[in-house]
Amino acid sequence: MIRRHRFVGFMLAMFFLASCANGGPTTVALVDSSASASGQVAEVTLTVAAAADLTPAFQELGALFTQQTGIGVIFSFGSTGQLTQQIEQGAPVDVFAAANQLYIAELEQAGLIIPDTIALYAQGRLTIWTRADSPLTFASLDDLTQEKVNRIAIANPEHAPYGVAAREALISAGLWDALQPRLILGENVAQTMQYAETGNVDVALVALSLSVAAGDSGRYVLIPAGLHNPLNQALAVVGSTKHEVEARQFAAFVNGEAGREIMRRYGFILPGEEPIR
141-163 pLDDT tens trace: 999 999 999 999 999 999 999 99
Note whether 225 and 277 are within 8 A (CB): yes
Residue spans per domain, the chain: 2-123+232-265, 124-227
Pairing of strands 152-155, 126-131: unpaired
pLDDT of residue 194 exceeding 50, the answer is yes
The CA distances from residue 6 to 41, 63, 94, in Å, are 10, 18, 18
Question: What's residue 27's pLDDT?
Answer: 41
Element (H, E) at 131: strand 126-131
| Cα-based torsion angle of the residue sequence 98, 247, 249, 76 in order, rounded to the nearest 10 degrees | -50
| Cα-based torsion angle of the residue sequence 154, 156, 159, 162 in order, rounded to the nearest 10 degrees | 0
Closest CA to 190 of 156, 158, 217, 167: 156
Fold for 2-123+232-265, please state it.
Answer: D-Maltodextrin-Binding Protein; domain 2 (3.40.190)
pTM flag (> 0.75): yes
Q: Report d(CA 162, CA 145) in Å as an integer.
A: 20
pLDDT above 70 covers what percent of the chain? 84
Q: Report d(CA 119, CA 214) in Å as an integer.
A: 28
Question: What's residue 272's pLDDT?
Answer: 83
pLDDT band at 32 (very low <50, low <70, confident <90, very high): low
Question: What's residue 115's pLDDT?
Answer: 98
Decide whether 2-123+232-265 matches 124-227 in CATH topology: yes
Closest CA to 73 of 62, 58, 64, 57: 62
What is the layout of strands, in order, in the sheet containing 218-222? 183-186, 152-155, 203-207, 126-131, 218-222
- Other CB atoms within a 10 A radius of the CB of residue 199 amount to 12
Counting every residue, how long is the chain? 277
Averaged over 37-62, what is the pLDDT?
Answer: 87
Note whether 66 and 34 are within 8 A (CB): yes
Q: Report d(CA 172, CA 166) in Å as an integer.
A: 10
Fold for 124-227, please state it.
Answer: D-Maltodextrin-Binding Protein; domain 2 (3.40.190)
Question: What's residue 184's pLDDT?
Answer: 98
In one letter, which amino acid is 225? A
pLDDT band at 24 (very low <50, low <70, confident <90, very high): very low
